[in-house]
Amino acid sequence: MNIGFVQFAPKLGDVDSNLRMVDKMLEGISADVIVLPELFATGYLFPSIEFIENIAESAGDGPIYSAMAKWSKEKNCLITGGFPEIDGDKVYNSAMAVFPDGRFILYRKIHLFDSEKLFFESGDIRLKPFQFRGVKFAMLICFDWIFPETYRVLMLQGTQVILHSTNLVLPYCQMASFARAVENRMFIVLANRTGTESTDGNELNFTGGSIIYSPNGEILIQSSDSESAVEIVEIDPDDAVDKNVTGRNNLITDRRPEFYKKLCEK
């Protein structure tokens, strides 16, 4: 199975330009799964809720979904990426996994970061893997990375590959994802963005460094902190089915949940 990511610097609020950029970057690309960054078509550092509402769309209905569905159909692959989702009077920082036939899986970011809490509702969709071509995938968005429980819950449900759309500004996630891959023996595809955004005197510098880890923590591919790139690698998803660490240690059967439960209840 061939999986990969797209890394670039979106323009804040310019959905059409960002979609054209991704469309151009995907020309000639062939893969089974492609992961786009968090909020890849809109930019990130929003000045107001009204600004977001003007570019947000309902899940499965809007220019961002339409572009993702087109790419997925043309390339006969799974496309995932983040977008601002509007649902009634609520706005979520969400991601879609779009199938070649137009079906999609929705995920809403559970752990909001910093100023996101001013605009977005916390996600309300349970962590759950889905299947594509016989492989179990799951989506996470950016700051979800700092909560290892998210990966462990998904691993225990059989997830083989984490599709992680990000807009990272802290310098830790790419390194921390090594531990997440190893401690759960899963593949992690982390698609980050690059560039700088400024709004009302606030400025964010995005760290790039998109990366794919194997269940052994091997770096299969990584981009620089500033380049625009599309990177594809071949993996064997069955490598993430084997949860043995040694001949006598298994990540699932060695767990002692009777002890964890008391700690979690405090």
Specify burial of residue 235 (Cβ count, 10 A radius: 0-12, 13-18, 19+).
buried
38 catalytic? Reply is: yes
Tens digit of pLDDT for each residue in 63-108?
999 999 999 999 999 999 999 999 999 999 999 999 999 999 999 9
User: Residue 22 in contact with residue 14, Cβ under 8 Å?
Assistant: no
The catalytically annotated residue of 38, 85, 197, 231 is: 38
The catalytically annotated residue of 57, 77, 85, 109 is: 109
Domains of the chain: 2-240 (3.60.110.10)
Considering only the C-alpha atoms of the chain, give the largest distance between any 2 of them, rounded to a whole number of Å.
57
Q: Which residues have C-beta within 8 Å of that of residue 131, sequence separation ≥ 6? A: 137
Q: What average pLDDT does this structure show over 27-34?
A: 98
Element (H, E) at 173: helix 173-184
- Res 263 pLDDT > 70: no
109 catalytic? Reply is: yes
The catalytically annotated residue of 142, 173, 197, 231 is: 142
The pTM score is 0.97
Token pair for residue 249?
Answer: 């240690």
pLDDT range class, residue 260, cuts 50, 70, 90: confident
* DSSP bridge partners of 135: 132
Distance of alpha carbon 220 from alpha carbon 40, whole angstroms: 23
pLDDT range class, residue 264, cuts 50, 70, 90: low
Q: Which residue, 139, 74, 154, is CA-closest to 109?
A: 139
CA dist 256 to 155, 251, 259, Å?
Answer: 16, 10, 6
121 catalytic? Reply is: no
